[in-house]
Amino acid sequence: MGHRAGIDFSPSGDADRRSEPRRESLIDCASLFFRGTVRVVPVLNISSRGAMIESDIVPNLGESLVIRFAGCSPIYAYVRWNRDGRIGLNFGNEMVIG
């Protein structure tokens, strides 16, 4: 199909669009600050721009929350997606993962 306004409409454009790999097993859990409560949640994977967590919370798409990984400052994030007890978070700022 080609490009229109800088957007790739070709069939290959439908592939996974992640700009970097996700790291699994790097971080086991995190503290999640959500609607006035704090809970420890499993971290399924993480990248410099976001994370996938597992939780029974039911956030709205775009809703803000705070996540804190052990030994790190709290990070503001927002909900990108929520499906079957898994939640995709996007960090407000890019994080250095080492």
The domains of the chain are located at 20-91
| Phi (first) and psi of residue 11, to 5 degrees | -55, -35
Residue bearing the bigger pLDDT, 7 or 58: 58
Nearest residue to 33 via CA among 79, 74, 72, 80: 74
Residue bearing the bigger pLDDT, 95 or 79: 79
State the chain's mean pLDDT as an integer: 81
Which pTM does this prediction carry? Answer: 0.74
Start-to-end CA distance of the chain, whole Å, equals: 39
Domain 20-91 has CATH 3.40.50.300: no
Over residues 25-46, mean pLDDT: 93
Radius of gyration of the chain (CA): 15
